[in-house]
Amino acid sequence: MSKTLVIYFSHEGENYNVGTVEVGNTELLAKEIVAKTSADEFKIVPENNYPGTYQETIEVASAEQKSSARPKYIGDVDITNYDTIFFGYPIWWEDLPMVVYSFIEKHNFSGKVVMPFNTHEGSGNAGTNETLKSLMPGAILKGDGFNMTGSIARTEEGIKKINNWLDGLREFIV
């Protein structure tokens, strides 16, 4: 069994700059990491999934952020079995999506090597690497909060970039 786990949230449907997609931008990166590391994976899927249209999704996400909602998600994963965790998410309203907070708050990342990655459309990691540091006390964060424009994640250039990032982290992949 692998000691490396890829955890991610990603939204399929209509999204900014990419039209309507069956596989989200962050998920494409997550799948590339899984393919290149043979890691296990867990996708955070909200019980009430987000609407198909971009406009509706940003409205729901904004309301959730304003109320500090903690949306429930389907299933779970026992992270105690893993030493190294890739942690992927899109930037939503300059922050982690609220369902990502739901996941983090239910788990203890202390002692784990955590390598955050995200996609966005201009905000970079929007300070979320720092947010993760405070939400995951005792975790050892590596990889400098890797971030990529979502539409680039769908191109060969994006896949090349995530592989370059991965290559620099090989010593932590177990």
Q: Which residues make Cβ contacts (< 8 Å) with residue 42, sequence separation at least 6?
A: 5, 6, 7, 8, 75, 76, 77
The correct pick among 51, 123, 169, 172 for binding ligand FMN (CB under 6 A) is 123
Binding span for ligand FMN by CB under 6 A among 75-83, 105-113, 114-122, 130-138:
114-122
CA distance 37 to 40: 9
Nearer to ligand FMN, 84 or 119 (CB): 119
Residue 26 is a binding residue for ligand FMN (CB under 6 A): yes
Task: Decide if residue 168 touches ligand FMN (CB under 6 A).
Answer: no
Helices (H), the chain: 25-37, 54-66, 98-105, 128-135, 150-153, 156-167
Applying CB under 6 A, does 27 fall inside the site for ligand FMN? Answer: yes
Chain positions 33 to 92 lying near ligand FMN, rule: CB under 6 A, are 57-58, 61, 90-92
Minimum distance from CB of 150 to ligand FMN (Å)? 2
- Residue 22 burial (CB count, 10 A): 7
Residue 117: CB minimum distance to ligand FMN, A: 11
Burial 88-102 (b: 16+ CB within 10 A, else e): bbbbbeebbbbbbbb
Per CB under 6 A, 16 contacts ligand FMN: yes
For binding to ligand FMN (CB under 6 A), which residues are involved?
10-11, 15-16, 24-27, 57-58, 61, 90-94, 119-123, 150
